[in-house]
Chain A
Amino acid sequence: MEELSRTRVWVLRGLFLAFVLISWELSSGRLASEFFISRPTAIAAMFWDWVVSGKIFYHGAITLLEAVAGFLLGGLIGMIIGVWLGRAELVAEVLDPFIMMFYSLPKVALAPLFVLWFGIGIDMKILLTATIVFFLVFLNTYTGVRAVSREQIAILRLMGANERHVLFKVVLPSAVTWVFTGLRLSVPYALIGAIVGELIASNRGLGYLLADSAGQFDTTGVFTALIGIMIMAFCLNAAVKLLEIKAMPWRETNSKREMSI
Chain B
Amino acid sequence: MRDIFFDLSVRSVKLNFLRSILASIGIVIGVVAISSMGMLGANMQLSVKQQLSSDVNTIMISSDVVRTTSTAGTPTTSQGIDKSTLNDITTAAGLNQVIPIHNTRTQFTIGSTDGRGSIYGLDPNDITKFLTIAQGENIKGGSDALVGANIATNFNMNIGSRIKIGQDNVSITRPTVRVAGILAARGFASDGVNTDNAIIVPDTWYTDHFGNKDLYDQVNVIMQNIDTINQTEAAIGDKVNRRTDIVRISDASSRLSSISSTLGTITTFILAIGSISLVVAAVSIFNVMMMSVNERIQEIGILLSIGTEKGEVRRMFLYEAFILGVIGALVGGICSLIIGYSVVSAMIGNTAYFFLPASIIYVPYGMIIGVVVCILSGLYPAWHASNMDPIDALRNE
Do A and B assemble together? no
User: B residues near A, CB below 8 A?
Assistant: none
